[in-house]
Amino acid sequence: MSPNDTSPKPPFSIVLVNYKTFDLTKICLDLLFEHVQQANIPVWVVDNGSADESIEYLRSLQWINLIERDAPAKEPGHIAHGKALDMALARIDTDYLFLMHTDTFIYDTQVFAMMMKYCTRDPNVAAVGCTEQLNRGTLRTLWRFSSRLFKHHYRRLKLTLGLRSKEPKPYRETHLKSFCTLWNSRLIKQHGLHFQIDDRVPGYELQDRMLQLGHKVEFLSPGKVFSYLDHVQAGTVAAAGGYAGNHRRTRMYRNMLKRFDAVNTQTS
C-alpha cells in the first residue's frame, strides 16, 4: 500500500513459497487473482532460488510482492521453506498471515472469511487450519487412524519387552499443515517468534510455543477445508522433480495438470 492510500488496511496477507513449480504456481495465482484484486489483499511470493521459468513468470506479475531469496544449494527443503516464510513475515504489516502452498487451488474464496471468523471472534487464537493434507473421507480416515494406533502400541510393546523395534510414531496428527493455514502474525511478532525455529517442519515448534503461551489453535476438519479448495499432496516436490517419474505422487501431479488443461481447453 502506498503512503497516500486511504483504503482500509486489509486483515491478512497471503504468502506462498515458489521453488521450480511454474505450472502449479501459475494455476494457484490465477485462481487468486480476481479476489485479491477486488479485496485489496496483499500477496507475497518468495522464490527460493528457482532460476527457471517460474521466476521469470513471477517477475512479470505487477500485482504480487516478490521476494527473491538466494537459497544455499545444500539447504534442506523444509529449512529453505521456513526461512522463506520468515522473510515474508518480516515484511508484511497485516495482523494475519494466510499461508498457502503453490499446489493449493482455491475455488471458493469464502474460505478466507470462514477462517478469519475464528480469529475475529477470539483475538487469542494464534492459528486456524487443518492437520490433514487431503480429504480421505470417513472410512479411509478411520482405517488410517486405526492402523497407526495399532502400529504405535505394537512398537511400544516390543520395546517394553526388550525387543528390537523402531520408535513409535504419533498415531494422531497434532500440527497444522501449512498448505492452508491462517496465522496471527501480530501475536507471532509480539512474542518475537517466527516459523523456522528448530529443524522440524516450519510452524510445528511455533504452534507448540503459542499453545504454551496460552494461545489457542482452531482445528478444522478436512471435510470443511476441502469444500473450498483442492491440494495436490507433495505436488511441489513432484513438480520440482523430487520423485521418480513413476512415483504415485508424480502421477497425481501429472493427472492434475491434465485436468486443468482439459478445463482450459473447454472454456477457451
In angstroms, rounded to a whole number, what is the distance separating the alpha carbons of residues 92 and 88? 6
Q: In whole numbers, what is the pLDDT of the chain averaged over residues?
A: 84
In angstroms, rounded to a whole number, what is the distance separating the alpha carbons of residues 223 and 219? 12
Whole-number pLDDT of residue 263: 46
In angstroms, rounded to a whole number, what is the distance separating the alpha carbons of residues 79 and 83? 6
Other C-beta atoms lying within 10 Å of the C-beta of residue 188 = 22
Whole-number pLDDT of residue 151: 75
Using a 10 angstrom Cβ sphere, with 0-12 exposed, 13-18 middle and 19 or more buried, the burial of residue 177 is: buried
35-84 pLDDT, tens digit per residue, is 999 999 999 999 999 999 999 999 999 999 999 999 787 889 899 999 99
In angstroms, rounded to a whole number, what is the distance separating the alpha carbons of residues 211 and 218? 11
Cell reading at 143: 482405517
216-258 pLDDT, tens digit per residue, is 999 999 999 999 998 885 445 445 555 455 655 566 666 666 6
Mean pLDDT value of segment 121-139: 86
